Structure 1
Amino acid sequence: MKDKVQLELDGISFELKEPHSFEWIARLGTVFRVFDQQDSGNLSFGVLGRDGKRKFVKYAGARTIHANSLSAPAEAIHYLKSSVSIYEDLAHDTLIHLKDHFATEHGYACVFDWVEGECLHAHWDFPPPAKYEDPRSPYFRFRQLPVKTRIQAMERILDFHTEVQRRGYVAVDFYDGSLIYDFDKQTMKICDIDLYRKGSFTNTMGRMWGSSRFMSPEEFELGAPIDGVTNVFNLGAMAFSLLGGELDRSYTRWDAGEALYQVVIRAIDPERASRYASVAELSDAWKKAVLQDK
């Protein structure tokens, strides 16, 4: 038995572990891009609609090549279906907009407005170390932008996650692969919030989903609380990715001012009690520090 099969839609080739029917996608329009390198168990498409507008379609139900523990189609379908209410509850200018969702014969699809820009962790095109070194890498290009521009992008992320917590949700599996940056308009968008959870909860997994570069100590600890204080850490880690040395969190690798550095270093304190009590508190401290650093 072959490990993978090649499929084609509208002249675009992609790979799966086994054949799968995509007859349903023709009614949405013409496929112009396929994203088949995700580890979530989802397959995504860029589709040009008959109205001339582009759409982003996320689909669960096919056996993808790079799927992780969520790889079973039934599990992937469950999580994608469950994400619908999350996108609806957390609708925000910074979040990609869910237009439609529906079941197919063998899976489930979510249709989003297409967002111009590039994923800051395009691992399928620029795996490390290329992400950090290749001038074509979206992450590398972002890091060349003026500090003020990057601070503003981070503030969009903070504003969205302040709303996430205000509306009673906890971010899960938030990392730089969740960021789409439009270099022409200098705007940041957030995607892939499928695993965000309503309400605080207890870690029942041990190592949770996510990139270890952004995860708090409690996301590795069975029985630990996962809540807004956890997200304070996640966002501090993101700030070091966009403005510092990522995992090298020394001041020498920090591109912004000292006041802002002190805010972010507190956010990623291993001791929960030493961090800010909420994302809103972190965001307020951030904005005051930006004024101090001017």
Structure 2
Amino acid sequence: MFPGEIDVPPATYLDHLGTIFALFDTQDSGNISYGVQTATARYFVKTAGDPAAPNLFLDFDARVTLLRTAAELARSGTHPAMPALHAVIESPAGPVLVYEWRDGDLLHEPAARERFKALPTAEILAVLDALYELHAALDAAGWVEGDFYDGAMMYDFDARRLTVMDLDTYRRGPHRNTMGRMFGSTRFMAPEQLALGAPIDTRTTAYVMARAALVLLPEPPPALHAVLLEATTTRFPSYEAFYDAWLTASSTIAV
């Protein structure tokens, strides 16, 4: 259905593909995304935005690089919490990523976050289990967390479905912090994401995932709380070790 390449701007192509019913053009990165309705389906389409736009947080080449990373990550595996990537279309404005459309509320929005935190503990734990299972798969494929926070999580309260998105800044394999204060929310960030030259690796993923639970789960059961505290203090040696400890603790509780 989707071509491999187009010779017109993404918005022009999308206008011909179907109806643009949503526009997301206020992203800090400079990316521009769309919701598109065709005769048969809805899609979420992400682009690098205007190549000539001035004064953006990331320049055009950097935005293109991150989109290609997002495509590589999506193609490295599938998971119910991650929208399917249907196509990557090359355009004069860089790659155009066509994902399935997902309904839901961004948990970065205060009202949605508070509504989520008021859910029964069992429902929140089911969401965290899905988040952690996804990251176990990403970790096994060699991906290390980057700029993850509640703005990367969307929850459909009716369908009880988690969607994780915007993983463009994840990287394969361990690397060093070359920025000092890296991209991200300090509510979620590991100490090494604030220290120039510090190693960023699977331990970082474990820390950030533990912080997600501490932010979103008001009263963790004691066995799980102990795992989260270890992940954010003495630290687990790997994401796998954190995930194993989480699963072991989960098997001992009833909610």
TM-based fold match above 0.5: yes
Residue of structure 2 in register with 1:116 after alignment: 103
Residue of structure 2 in register with 1:82 after alignment: 69
The C-alpha deviation readout for 1:63-108, integer Å capped at 9, x for no partner, is 79998521x2232123213321121113222211110111222333
**Contact 2:190–2:207 under 8 Å retained in 1:** yes
Structure 2: gaps spanning 5 or more residues: 1-8
Secondary structure (helix, strand or coil) at the match of 1:240 reads: helix
State whether structure 2 residue 253 is matched by structure 1 residue 265. Answer: no
What pairs with 1:33-48 in structure 2 (closer than 5 Å)? 33-48=22-37
Residue of structure 1 in register with 2:6 after alignment: none
State whether structure 2 residue 117 is matched by structure 1 residue 148. Answer: no
State whether structure 2 residue 39 is matched by structure 1 residue 50. Answer: yes
State whether structure 2 residue 148 is matched by structure 1 residue 207. Answer: no
Residue of structure 2 in register with 1:97 after alignment: 84
TM-score for the superposition, normalised by structure 1 = 0.78
Residue of structure 2 in register with 1:282 after alignment: 242
TM-score for the superposition, normalised by structure 2 = 0.90
May I ask how many residue pairs the two structures share in their alignment? Answer: 246
Counterparts of 1:162 and 1:142, CA distance in 2: 23
Counterparts of 1:106 and 1:278, CA distance in 2: 39
Aligned alpha-carbon RMSD (Å): 2.0
Secondary structure (helix, strand or coil) at the match of 1:44 reads: strand
Secondary structure (helix, strand or coil) at the match of 2:227 reads: helix
Counterparts of 1:175 and 1:92, CA distance in 2: 19
Larger RCO: 1 or 2 (CA < 8 Å, sep 6+): 2
State whether structure 2 residue 190 is matched by structure 1 residue 216. Answer: yes
- Picking from 45, 60, 68, the partner of 2:48 is 60
Residue of structure 1 in register with 2:4 after alignment: none
State whether structure 2 residue 238 is matched by structure 1 residue 293. Answer: no
**Contact 1:61–1:108 under 8 Å retained in 2:** no
Give 4+ residue runs of structure 1 displaced > 6 Å after superposition: 63-67
Counterparts of 2:103 and 2:240, CA distance in 1: 28
Secondary structure (helix, strand or coil) at the match of 2:23 reads: strand
